[in-house]
């Protein structure tokens, strides 16, 4: 793990409390191919994947995150990618309904965990892959489509959460989920800030991003290719791929503290930091974020 301090000239940032759900990669391997990163003929090391995942979990704990865990299920090697298991806002959960049959049993497994945790559970009627393609920011939800998530689920999410859902079309198969091509850096209403890879989006969606987030960080192809954008931010600390050093420099210039972790074994399955992390957003956390800014829900 590497931690580097932000530039002293950079804007002040505030770390928010976070609660996350993770799943130990006990059964991680690559036995099928459902994204360009996966190669069933290439060897994988489950023990190494577990060790890297544990480093990520301990990084979160060191930052004061509350980390909860769902039990892994044999035969579901991609269950480690907890972000895909659903979307949780204000203690309301919207379950995933996976595109590929290999992952479809994960939806009910995560749904059962949400229910046991006391969340209000809305079971998906439309194909969606949770926070892989749904990223809340301010008072809207950015929503990817093009490879995994059906656009009909955008309407379903808008109804469940009562928020505007902004559709963003992904056009490159190696960035098949929104969270591989865009990361939320500051989610506070009125201070929304993101980073993204311009080449991952259609021209119309890129125009939408530039209109909504004129001060966004546009990340290089090199940093995106090591899953630098598959990151988690508490508003100050950005946990991201150790190899995304150019992105680290950009983050420091914008007042963030980048924390690099090595998840290269899990990248063999097409996953990184964010893929391993489902945020459990509570109503209390959301009110606290507004209180910190004094904002009233202004969109960028």
Q: Look at residue 110 and tell me if it is in a domain.
A: yes
| Cβ contact 156:125 at 8 Å | yes
Asked if residue 2 is part of any domain, the answer here is no
With cut-offs at 50, 70 and 90, classify the pLDDT of residue 283.
Answer: confident
Parallel, antiparallel, or unpaired: how do β-strands 217-218 and 232-233 relate?
unpaired
Per DSSP, the chain holds a count of helices (H) and strands (E) of 8, 16
Residues annotated catalytic, as ranges: 177, 275
Tokens representing residue 30 in the block: 């690559």
Please give the DSSP secondary-structure letter assigned to residue 7.
P
Q: How far apart are CA 253 and CA 279, in angstroms?
A: 26
Domain count, the chain: 1
Binned at pLDDT 50, 70 and 90, residue 11 comes out as low
Strand-pairing partners, residue 137, are 140
Domain presence at residue 173: yes
- Asked whether residue 9 is assigned to any structural domain, the reply reads no
- The mean-pLDDT minimum among 3-12, 101-110, 163-172, 208-217 falls in 3-12
Only one residue has tokens 């959301």, namely 286
Assign residue 131 the CATH number of its domain.
3.75.10.10
Q: Looking at the domain assignment, is residue 6 inside a domain?
A: no
For 89-127, the pLDDT digits (tens) are 999 999 999 999 999 999 999 999 999 999 999 999 999
Residues recorded for the chain: 300
Q: Is 47 inside a domain boundary? A: yes
Nearest CA to 196 out of 158, 235, 169 is that of: 169
Given this model, what pLDDT does residue 221 score?
98
Q: Is 157 a domain residue?
A: yes
Place 30 in a pLDDT band, splitting at 50, 70 and 90.
very high
Q: What is the pLDDT of residues 142-197, one digit of tens each?
A: 999 999 999 999 999 999 999 999 999 999 999 999 999 999 999 999 999 999 99
Domain ranges, residue 53: 17-293
Indicate the pLDDT class of residue 12, thresholds 50, 70 and 90. Answer: confident
- Residue 8 inside a domain? The answer is no
pLDDT mean across residues, the chain: 93
Give the pTM. Answer: 0.91
């Amino acid at each position: 793990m590497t931690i580097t301090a932000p530039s002293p000239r950079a804007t002040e940032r505030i770390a928010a409390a976070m609660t996350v759900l993770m799943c130990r990669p006990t059964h991680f391997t690559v036995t099928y191919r459902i994204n360009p990163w996966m190669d069933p003929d290439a060897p994988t090391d489950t023990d190494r994947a577990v060790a890297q995942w544990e480093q990520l979990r301990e990084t979160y704990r060191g930052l004061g995150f509350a980390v909860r865990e769902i039990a892994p299920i044999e035969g579901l090697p991609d269950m480690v990618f907890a972000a895909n298991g659903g979307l949780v806002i204000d203690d309301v959960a919207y379950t995933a309904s996976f595109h590929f049959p290999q992952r479809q049993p994960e939806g009910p497994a995560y749904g059962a965990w949400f229910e046991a945790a006391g969340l209000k559970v809305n079971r998906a009627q439309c194909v969606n892959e949770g926070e892989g393609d749904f990223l809340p920011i301010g008072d809207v939800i950015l929503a990817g489509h093009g490879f995994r998530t059906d656009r009909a689920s955008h309407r379903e999410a808008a109804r469940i959460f009562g928020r505007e859902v902004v559709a963003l079309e992904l056009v490159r198969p190696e960035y098949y989920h929104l969270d591989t091509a865009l990361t939320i850096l500051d989610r506070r209403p009125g201070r929304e800030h993101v980073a993204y890879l311009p080449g991952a989006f259609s021209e119309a969606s890129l125009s939408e991003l530039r209109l909504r987030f004129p001060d966004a960080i546009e990340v290089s192809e090199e940093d995106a290719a090591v899953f630098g954008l598959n990151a988690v931010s508490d508003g100050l600390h950005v946990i991201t791929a150790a190899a995304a050093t150019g992105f680290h420099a950009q983050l420091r210039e914008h007042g963030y503290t980048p924390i690099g972790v090595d998840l290269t074994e899990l990248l063999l399955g097409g996953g990184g930091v964010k893929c391993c992390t489902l945020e459990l957003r509570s109503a209390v956390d959301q009110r606290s974020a507004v209180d910190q800014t004094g904002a009233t829900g202004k969109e960028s």
